Amino acid sequence: MRIFSKLSFFTSVTLFYTSSSLYSQIAKPPVAIYDFTYNPELAYKEYLPSIKQFVTSAFQKSKMFTILNRTSQDALLKEKDLTQGPDYFLNKAIKDGKKVGAKYIITGEVDRVDIEKSQSSQGIVSFSAGFSFLLKFIDPETNVLKASEQISV
Protein backbone atom coordinates (compact mmCIF):
# COMPACT_ATOMS: atom_id res chain seq x y z
CA MET A 1 0.00 0.00 0.00
CA ARG A 2 1.09 3.47 -0.71
CA ILE A 3 2.01 5.82 2.15
CA PHE A 4 -0.77 8.16 1.02
CA SER A 5 -3.36 5.41 1.53
CA LYS A 6 -2.18 4.74 5.09
CA LEU A 7 -2.20 8.44 5.95
CA SER A 8 -5.61 8.83 4.37
CA PHE A 9 -7.02 5.97 6.43
CA PHE A 10 -5.44 7.27 9.65
CA THR A 11 -6.87 10.72 8.97
CA SER A 12 -10.31 9.22 8.29
CA VAL A 13 -10.29 7.32 11.59
CA THR A 14 -9.18 10.39 13.54
CA LEU A 15 -11.75 12.69 11.91
CA PHE A 16 -14.46 10.07 12.24
CA TYR A 17 -13.81 9.63 15.95
CA THR A 18 -13.38 13.30 16.87
CA SER A 19 -16.43 14.40 14.88
CA SER A 20 -18.66 11.79 16.49
CA SER A 21 -20.25 12.00 19.90
CA LEU A 22 -17.86 9.26 21.10
CA TYR A 23 -15.03 11.74 21.61
CA SER A 24 -16.87 13.85 24.15
CA GLN A 25 -18.04 10.87 26.21
CA ILE A 26 -14.74 9.45 27.45
CA ALA A 27 -11.03 10.18 27.03
CA LYS A 28 -9.00 7.21 25.71
CA PRO A 29 -11.87 4.73 25.90
CA PRO A 30 -10.94 1.04 26.06
CA VAL A 31 -11.89 -0.67 22.80
CA ALA A 32 -11.83 -4.25 21.60
CA ILE A 33 -11.23 -4.80 17.90
CA TYR A 34 -12.97 -7.88 16.57
CA ASP A 35 -12.59 -9.80 13.34
CA PHE A 36 -14.52 -8.33 10.45
CA THR A 37 -17.30 -10.20 8.71
CA TYR A 38 -17.24 -10.77 4.97
CA ASN A 39 -19.06 -12.45 2.13
CA PRO A 40 -17.74 -16.05 1.87
CA GLU A 41 -17.43 -15.57 -1.91
CA LEU A 42 -15.02 -12.67 -1.43
CA ALA A 43 -11.70 -13.15 -3.21
CA TYR A 44 -8.43 -13.08 -1.26
CA LYS A 45 -9.96 -14.06 2.11
CA GLU A 46 -6.47 -14.99 3.32
CA TYR A 47 -5.68 -11.25 3.52
CA LEU A 48 -8.54 -10.40 5.90
CA PRO A 49 -6.34 -10.65 9.05
CA SER A 50 -4.13 -7.98 7.49
CA ILE A 51 -7.13 -5.62 7.34
CA LYS A 52 -7.77 -6.10 11.06
CA GLN A 53 -4.06 -5.48 11.76
CA PHE A 54 -4.21 -2.33 9.62
CA VAL A 55 -7.22 -1.03 11.57
CA THR A 56 -5.65 -1.92 14.93
CA SER A 57 -2.46 -0.11 13.96
CA ALA A 58 -4.40 3.01 12.94
CA PHE A 59 -6.25 3.08 16.27
CA GLN A 60 -3.00 2.61 18.21
CA LYS A 61 -1.25 5.38 16.27
CA SER A 62 -4.10 7.77 17.00
CA LYS A 63 -3.30 7.48 20.75
CA MET A 64 -6.97 8.21 21.36
CA PHE A 65 -7.89 4.68 22.50
CA THR A 66 -6.76 1.98 24.87
CA ILE A 67 -6.65 -1.19 22.78
CA LEU A 68 -7.61 -4.24 24.83
CA ASN A 69 -5.74 -7.49 24.23
CA ARG A 70 -8.00 -9.72 22.19
CA THR A 71 -5.72 -12.73 21.64
CA SER A 72 -7.59 -15.22 23.80
CA GLN A 73 -11.05 -14.04 22.73
CA ASP A 74 -10.07 -14.24 19.06
CA ALA A 75 -8.96 -17.84 19.52
CA LEU A 76 -12.30 -18.71 21.09
CA LEU A 77 -14.27 -17.02 18.31
CA LYS A 78 -12.29 -18.81 15.61
CA GLU A 79 -13.20 -22.14 17.17
CA LYS A 80 -16.88 -21.31 16.73
CA ASP A 81 -18.47 -22.32 13.44
CA LEU A 82 -19.23 -19.02 11.69
CA THR A 83 -21.87 -20.60 9.46
CA GLN A 84 -24.43 -19.24 11.91
CA GLY A 85 -24.05 -15.91 10.13
CA PRO A 86 -22.78 -12.40 10.79
CA ASP A 87 -25.61 -11.51 13.20
CA TYR A 88 -24.65 -14.34 15.53
CA PHE A 89 -20.98 -13.37 15.26
CA LEU A 90 -21.74 -9.72 16.08
CA ASN A 91 -23.92 -10.61 19.08
CA LYS A 92 -21.18 -12.92 20.39
CA ALA A 93 -18.59 -10.14 19.97
CA ILE A 94 -20.77 -7.73 21.90
CA LYS A 95 -21.24 -10.18 24.78
CA ASP A 96 -17.48 -10.84 24.88
CA GLY A 97 -16.79 -7.08 24.76
CA LYS A 98 -18.74 -6.63 27.98
CA LYS A 99 -16.60 -9.32 29.63
CA VAL A 100 -13.29 -7.64 28.76
CA GLY A 101 -14.38 -4.15 29.82
CA ALA A 102 -14.53 -2.54 26.39
CA LYS A 103 -16.31 0.79 26.15
CA TYR A 104 -16.71 0.13 22.44
CA ILE A 105 -16.49 -2.83 20.11
CA ILE A 106 -14.77 -2.01 16.82
CA THR A 107 -15.76 -4.32 14.00
CA GLY A 108 -16.72 -4.11 10.37
CA GLU A 109 -17.83 -5.72 7.16
CA VAL A 110 -15.30 -6.16 4.36
CA ASP A 111 -16.84 -5.73 0.94
CA ARG A 112 -13.78 -5.54 -1.35
CA VAL A 113 -10.22 -6.87 -1.42
CA ASP A 114 -8.07 -6.30 -4.51
CA ILE A 115 -4.54 -7.61 -4.99
CA GLU A 116 -2.47 -6.75 -8.07
CA LYS A 117 0.82 -8.38 -8.97
CA SER A 118 3.25 -6.66 -11.31
CA GLN A 119 6.73 -7.39 -12.58
CA SER A 120 9.28 -4.81 -13.68
CA SER A 121 11.47 -5.18 -16.75
CA GLN A 122 14.28 -6.17 -14.34
CA GLY A 123 12.17 -9.07 -13.06
CA ILE A 124 11.28 -7.52 -9.70
CA VAL A 125 7.84 -8.66 -8.55
CA SER A 126 5.68 -6.29 -6.50
CA PHE A 127 2.17 -6.35 -5.14
CA SER A 128 -0.35 -3.62 -4.43
CA ALA A 129 -3.50 -4.04 -2.39
CA GLY A 130 -6.75 -2.21 -1.90
CA PHE A 131 -9.74 -2.90 0.28
CA SER A 132 -13.02 -1.43 1.39
CA PHE A 133 -14.98 -2.03 4.58
CA LEU A 134 -17.69 -0.60 6.79
CA LEU A 135 -16.14 0.31 10.16
CA LYS A 136 -18.53 0.13 13.15
CA PHE A 137 -18.37 1.45 16.74
CA ILE A 138 -20.79 -0.54 18.92
CA ASP A 139 -21.64 0.06 22.58
CA PRO A 140 -21.50 -3.42 24.18
CA GLU A 141 -23.75 -2.35 27.08
CA THR A 142 -26.68 -1.30 24.91
CA ASN A 143 -25.90 -3.18 21.67
CA VAL A 144 -26.36 0.15 19.86
CA LEU A 145 -24.37 1.09 16.78
CA LYS A 146 -22.87 4.42 17.85
CA ALA A 147 -21.13 5.32 14.59
CA SER A 148 -20.09 3.81 11.28
CA GLU A 149 -18.02 4.85 8.30
CA GLN A 150 -17.28 3.31 4.91
CA ILE A 151 -13.48 3.19 4.48
CA SER A 152 -11.68 2.50 1.18
CA VAL A 153 -7.92 2.18 0.98
pLDDT at 59 over 80: yes
Interatomic CA distance for residues 3 and 136, integer angstroms:
24
Has residue 78 got a pLDDT over 80? no
Instruction: State residue 118 phi and psi, 5-degree precision.
Output: -135, 160
Give the pLDDT confidence score for residue 3 in this predicted structure.
43
pTM of the model: 0.65
How many other C-beta atoms are found inside a 10 Å radius of the C-beta of residue 111?
16
Q: Are 66 and 30 in contact (CB under 8 A)?
A: yes
d(CA 18, CA 61): 15
b/e per residue 8-24 (b: at least 16 CB within 10 A): ebbebbbebbeeeebee
The mean of the pLDDT values for the chain is 76
Residues 85-144: pLDDT tens digits? 556 556 665 565 555 578 888 999 999 999 899 999 999 999 888 899 999 999 888 889
Spell out a b/e string for 114-146, using b for 16 or more CB atoms within 10 Å of the CB, else e: eeeeeeeeeeeeeeebebebebbbbbbeeeeeb
Q: How confident is the model at residue 76 (pLDDT cuts 50, 70, 90)?
A: very low
pLDDT at 47: 85
Flag whether pLDDT at 9 surpasses 80.
no
| Over residues 12-26, mean pLDDT | 54
